Homo-oligomer: A and B are copies of this chain.
Amino acid sequence: MSIKIIDAKYYMPERKVLNSEIEEKFGLEKGYIEKRTGIKERYYTEVESIEKMATEAVKKISDASLVDMIVVATTSSNCLMPGISNYIQKELGINRCICMDVLAGCGGFINAFDIVNCYIEAGRIKKALVVGVDLLSGIVDKSDLGTVAVLSDGAGAILVENCGEEKMYFANIVSEKDEKNILYYKSDSKIYMDGREVYKYGVTKPVENVKELLDLSGVKFNDIKYIIPHQSNLKIMKVMANKLDVDFSKFYINIDKKGNTFCASIPIAIGQMLEKELLTCGDKVILLGYGGGLNTGSILLEI
């Protein structure tokens, strides 16, 4: 009994925000943002709620209504009860399933996916939706370039099922104390990110985490087709590849066109990779989440 990805879709809101708009507002020279973050454009929603964004992604998946579990990862939800998962259930017209939303930082999609895997391995469910969604444009401090330049709104949804056969699956999920309070969001204030400290964290802990995952699994990097990291910052991801001694072409990157969408980044990436037919049955990939918590997690998965 193993988890298998059946489909993945994503949704970005209509308004695309180019660097020029932000650079003009902050009085910066042209090219400033791309040089520092690798980001060319990001998306801000102006009309949709977070639950609506999540549902838009899910609705692109055929057979989404046949699931018996919906788990949503988010860091920016205002839907504390019912959760976004309940909203999706209602919109899809599903009479009965297990719904829950999970808060586990920017990389919370890893936790959501791993919970679903546990339920599938235990034979408790057959099909599930794993969703990552964040609406960050509404919670940034508009005067804080560090977050304004980087963060983006988006949603990604993955349909998984118990495929019956045995597929490789390993997870390594670790929370460590954020001693210096480098990254946080309380619903009654704005998101805070200490760019320098987040960078330091991003180029160390996720690297260690992936190394541990490979040790745990006994798999070598040569056998991994892609690493699908949370899209935090292009520089961070390049240093990661370097420290892991992996060719950067193995890292799936979309931060240039999508920005940093927190919990949505990994499922959006998988959705694009399926569109581009980059993934074939039997491929081994690593999903890598990291961020606020500090929560770091990676999953080695057979497609």
Contact = CB atoms under 8 A, between A and B. Distances in A.
A295 B86 contact: yes
Interface in A190-229: none
Interface in A70-125: 70, 74-83, 85-86, 89-90, 93-106, 108, 111, 115, 118-119, 121-122, 124
Interface string A134-177: 00000000000000000000000000000000000001011111
A295 B96 CA distance: 10
Given A80-B185, A100-B111, A292-B82, A175 B89 contact: yes
A291 B178 CA distance: 33
A279 interface: no
Contacts of A295: 82, 86, 99-100
Contact of A78 (B81, B97, B186): B186
Given A98-B173, A124-B118, A175-B97, A292 B104 contact: no
Contacts of A251: none
A175 B81 CA distance: 12
Contacts of A293: 81-83, 86, 99
A114 to B, nearest CB: 9
Interface range for A: 35 or more
A248 interface: no
Contacts of A98: 111, 173-175
Number of copies: 2
B185 A96 contact: no
A188 interface: yes
A263 to B, nearest CB: 10
A242 interface: no
Nearest to A85: B175
Contact of A102 (B79, B101, B188): B101
A204 to B, nearest CB: 14
Contacts of A77: 80, 103, 187
Contact of A81 (B99, B174, B292): B292
A48 to B, nearest CB: 15
Contacts of A97: 174-175
Contacts of A96: 174-176
A81 B183 contact: yes
A81 B111 contact: no
Contacts of A105: 81-83, 86
Nearest to A84: B103
Contact of A100 (B70, B81, B90, B108): B108
